[in-house]
Structure formats: structure tokens, C-alpha cells
Amino acid sequence: MSLNDLEVNTNRRLVFFDLETTGLNFYHDKIIEIGAIDNHGNTFEVLINPHCKLKPIIIKITGITQQRVEDDGIEEKDALEQFYNYINNPKYRNKTFLIAHNAYGFDEPFLKHRMKQFGIRLSPSIKFIDTIWMAKYVLPNRYSYRLEKLCKHFNIDYGHGHRALEDTEYLKQLYLILCYVWKQRDGLSHSPIQIYNFIKSV
């Protein structure tokens, strides 16, 4: 199975995305980096200046330094507007899926909340798919569902990880494999709308 098998020649659009943030609380923390790649090879990457001091643990995990966000980061509002425009391609209206690892527990609520702060609202037709949920369904007995652990399980070369665009490449490969395992196990099509509908039905 290749990425071409996953809707690349259809009118659906899959956007694999990742956020790096100043912390885990979307009411108080901010986004410092957004990375994305879609199933047509279009990439998105932006660094954001949060105008606050980064915690040492965030610098250690992401490799993003205080100087880097201050020198190269743009305003969060501008970054979110750019990402909104990247997502909302009129060609794929009502047929766009945003895919993230822990989307339901982190990326989706964080993204929506931060966008709401600046009056940006995603269309209700845009659907989120969580690869952690997929992994828990096809691999119910694993002790860890962290991205790097799942990549190791499936022999995906994870590299260093924890930069937004880099993580989307691993996420894309993981999604492909999970779709394949799911299809082999249950015979479910790897169509994102079928995966989404199944997730929301249980």
C-alpha cells in the first residue's frame, strides 16, 4: 500500500498535521509550530512567536529555542490564518480530513480553541481522525501508543522526531500501516470517511 492508494487520485484530501505548543493546556498555552503534509504532497510549516518564555522541557523536547521563536516566529493569528487557508482548499470542500496523533485528546481541541481566540472557525464539514484511536482499535493490548513507540513497532524509521513537519511524515506512514492492518483484520475499506464514521459510531 502506498500513499497513492489513500485517495491521492480522488477528490478527497487528507491533511496530516502536528502542533508544537508551550504546554498541554489550550486555555493558557500557545502554539509555537504547525507542520502539515497532505496526500497530494503539499506541505505547510510555520514557526510562531508566543511572546512568552519557553519552558526548558519544551525546548528539550522540540529543539525549538527561545531565540528561534523570537527571531523567526510570526504572530500566532497570522500563522493560524495561513493554516486555515492551507486547509480550506475549495477543490476539496466538504471532503477534507485532518489527521493527527492524539487528535481527539489534544490537537483538535487545541487548534479549535486557539483559532476561536482570533475569530477563526473551521467548517463543520472538516473531519478529524485520530491515529491513536486507530492504533488502540487494531492493537488493543499495547502498553504504549506514543508515536515513536508505534513507529518502532511497525519498523518506521522515527529519527529524532518532535518537530511538527518531521512528525507528520512519520504520522503519514503510520496511518498507511494502520489502514492496512485494519483492512486485513476487519475487511474495512481504508477510505477515510469509513474510518471516521466507524470511530464515531462506537
**What CATH number has the domain bearing residue 150?**
3.30.420.10
At 161-181, the pLDDT tens digits run 567 888 999 999 999 899 888
Beta strands in 22-123 (DSSP E): 31-38, 43-47, 96-100
Q: Choose between 104 and 12: higher pLDDT.
A: 104
Residues 6+ apart with CB under 8 A from 96: 12, 13, 15, 87, 88, 89, 125, 126, 127
Catalytically active residues are 162
**Quick check: 84 pLDDT over 80?**
yes
Measured CA to CA, the distance from residue 185 to residue 199 in angstroms comes to 16
Q: How many domains does the chain divide into? A: 1
**Quick check: 10 pLDDT over 90?**
no
**How many Cα neighbours within 13 Å face the side chain of 178?**
27
Give the containing element (helix H, strand E) for 130: strand 127-130
User: In which domain, by residue range, is 15 found?
Assistant: 3-201
At 129-166, the pLDDT tens digits run 999 999 999 899 899 999 999 999 999 988 765 678 88
Measured CA to CA, the distance from residue 190 to residue 119 in angstroms comes to 34
pLDDT for position 161: 58
**How many Cα neighbours within 13 Å face the side chain of 34?**
29
Q: Is the pTM value of this prediction over 0.85?
A: yes
At 41-82, the pLDDT tens digits run 899 999 999 999 999 999 998 999 999 999 999 999 999 999
In angstroms, what CA-CA distances link 153 with 17, 40, 78? 21, 27, 38
Confidence of residue 92 (pLDDT cuts 50, 70, 90): confident
Confidence of residue 195 (pLDDT cuts 50, 70, 90): confident
pLDDT for position 191: 78
Bridge partner residues of 14 (DSSP): 97
Measured CA to CA, the distance from residue 186 to residue 198 in angstroms comes to 12
